[in-house]
Amino acid sequence: MKKPFYQLEQSRDVIRHFTPNWFTATMGTGVVAMILAQLPFASSILFMLATKLWQFNILLFITFSILYGLRWILFPTEAKQIFNHPNMSLFLGAIPMGLATIANGFLSFGVHLYGDIAVQIATYLWYLDVFFAVLIAWVVPFCMFSCQDHQLQRMTAVWLLPIVACEVAASSAGLLLQHLAADQHALAILIMGYVLWGISVLPAFAILTILMLRLALHQLPEKEVAISSWLCLGPIGTGAMALLLLGQQAPRILNAAGLEELATIVPALGVIGGLVLLGFGLWWFGIAVLTTVRHARTGIPFNLGWWGLTFPFGVFILAIFNLAHQLQFNFFTYIAVALSIVLLALWALVMKKTVVGAYSGQLFFSPCLVALQQKMQ
């Protein structure tokens, strides 16, 4: 049994072993807050709970940012090793996705608390999110191509993480446009949203295709990474959300820009695209459930990868909620509510295990540092 974090050999070990996969906790917590606000029976108490959870998520993100920033300041040589590590580098994509949940929260909760200033904050955070998402979407795959060791049989859905951040930013653009006037600035954000969608969804679908080949040739992943199967829902659910949200705001903005012909087409494309992606996501949902059940028989060891259950599943549920709203189809609402209850239970379980693991010190482990030490021996 490892000592609690405050009894580690050195107090700075928490910083030295802090890795970006901790930001997946902010992704999962942020999406749960958004879902609580979407529930059709949401009361003032439930909305307040969602707001508090969003504010707690801000504290989490700030804490993790400080710890990870300190690692780069205090242990720069070790921190740089992340770009050579074939797995941990992929989790850099969790940082902009965690930031996106905070920006979205300023639009969903902050407007009620702080007024119009919340929209301005969300706008600045969105631009920052786009910068990091695009940068990571370039840098991490380039490192995969140039200086990392990858093999098909070791591939998991974690490959999606540095790519999906751009489409998360695209869906955030749709939320942001709801609060902006139909001017040239809004048109620029709308165009950027679709470009970000293309940057992310198309490479993500290429990765999913390769992943299907890997599963067919080398069977299911090891039980330690079995939960990564749920990550496949991420680009599908977020891709659908982006099409739906951007398509919903496009007519108002395109009409103001004199692009009436496009204004009549884009919303329909959003709904049709959302339905098609929903079907694709339903297939991956079944595969993820079967994979989890298969490995659960022998026990799945807990690690931070369990947060892969929350955010992808959450954005998939949010896409179903949005489709139900735009189509006025109550059956989708019932499905989304049922899945939301499952997600809330999963989030509570993963959060509990994370707190216990953090207190024991077992979750403060940097594979990059271990690889560096082995290289130096």
Convert the pLDDT of each residue in 51-103 to its tens digit: 999 999 999 999 999 999 999 999 998 899 999 999 999 999 999 999 999 99
| Domain spans in the chain, listed from the N-terminal domain onward | 10-368
Share of the chain above pLDDT 90, in %: 81
Residue type at position 159: W
**Structure-token match 């608390």, residue found:** 113
Element (H, E) at 89: none
182-189: average pLDDT:
96
Comparing CA positions, the residue from 86, 229, 224 lying closest to residue 162 is 86
Q: Are 361 and 2 in contact (CB under 8 A)?
A: yes
- Asked if the model's pLDDT at residue 377 lies above 60, the reply is no
Q: Is CATH 1.50.10.150 correct for 10-368?
A: yes
pLDDT at 368: 73
| Model confidence band, residue 194 (pLDDT cutoffs 50, 70, 90) | very high
pLDDT at 370: 66
Q: Are 249 and 177 in contact (CB under 8 A)?
A: yes
- Asked if the model's pLDDT at residue 366 lies above 90, the reply is no
Q: Are 291 and 12 in contact (CB under 8 A)?
A: no
Specify the 3-state DSSP secondary structure of 182.
coil
The pTM score is 0.93
CA contacts within 13 A on the Cβ side of 199: 25
Q: Compute the mean pLDDT over every residue in the chain, rounded to the nearest whole number.
A: 92
Rounded distance between C-alpha atoms, residue 21 and residue 311, angstroms:
13
| Model confidence band, residue 337 (pLDDT cutoffs 50, 70, 90) | very high
Comparing CA positions, the residue from 238, 234, 64 lying closest to residue 156 is 234
28-55: average pLDDT:
91
Comparing CA positions, the residue from 165, 12, 13, 184 lying closest to residue 97 is 165
pLDDT at 91: 96
